[in-house]
Amino acid sequence: MSDFPPEIPPAELIGPVEPTGHNQIRAVSATTLTGATAMSGTSGALGNGTDTTLLQALRIWSDVVLVGAETVRAENYGGVSVARRDRSRRRAEGREPVPPVAVVTRSFNLARDSRLFRGTEAAPLILAPASACQDPALSGARQEITAAGGRIVSTGTGTPDEMVECLHDLGYSRIICEGGARLLGQLVRAELIDVHHITIDPSLSLPAHPPLIAGPGTGAGDPPERHHLRLEGIRATSDGCVFLRYSGKHSGRVP
C-alpha cells in the first residue's frame, strides 16, 4: 500500500495566496520524467485528476489566463469554466466572474471558428506588438479576430515586461501562465514569474520533446543559462505524480 494519498486538495498545492489586487504571476505546467511536456501534441495525457483540479483552481485564482498562440492551436483552447459558487465569490471580491484567456501572438493566426472564440463567456484578449497591430498585411487576420469577438491589445514592442504591464493596466493583477515553451522562456528570462507549479508525470517518454521552456533562438546556439528557484512545497499522490511549487522571483541568474 502506498504511503501517499490518492489525491490532494488544490489549496494545499497552491499554497499561500496574496490578497486580491496584489500583482502576482504564477506558471503551471506538467512534464514527464524525461522532460517532455506533451504526448501526441497535447499535454492532456500528463498528470492525473489532482493535476486537473490544480489547473482549474489556479484559473479560478487568476484574473487572466496567459498562453501562447501555438499552445492555443495545439490544445484547441476554449474559455475558462467557472462554477456558480466561484462566480459569486469572485464578484464579492470585485473581480470578473470568469477570467479571460489572453493569447500572445504576432501573426494573428487564430481560427475564428475555434473554441477560443466559440467556447467562452469572456472575450479573449489577443496580445500583439504594436508593429503587428499596425501591419497592413495582417489587416484581414485582425478583422477576423474582432469579428469573432476577440479584443486586440497592443503590447508596445512586445517585451514580456510590456505584456505584463498591459494586463496590469487592464486590471488583471493575478496572472496564470499556461505556456507554451517560448512564452515561459521569455517570462523566465525576464524574471517575472513569482511561483512555478510543476507536475512531474511518472513516465519515461520518448522523444523528450517539447521542452518545458525554450530560449529565443532555435536552441542549439542559445547561451546556457540557469535560473535558480526556491522549493516551497512538494507533495505526491499514490499513482506516482509529484507536485512541486517553487518560488521564482529574486532567485538570481547563473550563466
Check which CATH number belongs to the domain holding 174 and give it. 3.40.430.10
Asked whether residue 220 is assigned to any structural domain, the reply reads: yes
Which of 246, 180, 248, 168 lies closest to 213, judged by CA?
Answer: 180
Asked whether residue 1 is assigned to any structural domain, the reply reads: no
Total-model pTM: 0.93
pLDDT of residue 255: 44
Asked whether residue 145 is assigned to any structural domain, the reply reads: yes
> With contact defined as beta carbons under 8 Å apart, do 101 and 120 qualify?
yes
pLDDT of residue 78: 93
Asked whether residue 18 is assigned to any structural domain, the reply reads: no
Number of domains, the chain:
1
pLDDT of residue 160: 97
CA distance 217 to 222: 6
Asked whether residue 123 is assigned to any structural domain, the reply reads: yes
Residue 39 gets which letter from DSSP? B
Residue-range definition of the domain harbouring residue 248: 23-37+46-254
pLDDT of residue 2: 72
CA distance 117 to 231: 37
pLDDT of residue 221: 63
Asked whether residue 7 is assigned to any structural domain, the reply reads: no
pLDDT of residue 220: 58
Q: What's the residue count for the chain?
A: 255
Tally of helices (H runs) and strands (E runs) in the chain: 9, 11
User: Consecutive 10-residue runs of the chain (255 residues): their mean pLDDT?
Assistant: 90 96 96 85 81 97 97 92 96 96 97 93 97 98 97 97 98 96 94 96 86 74 82 96 89 47
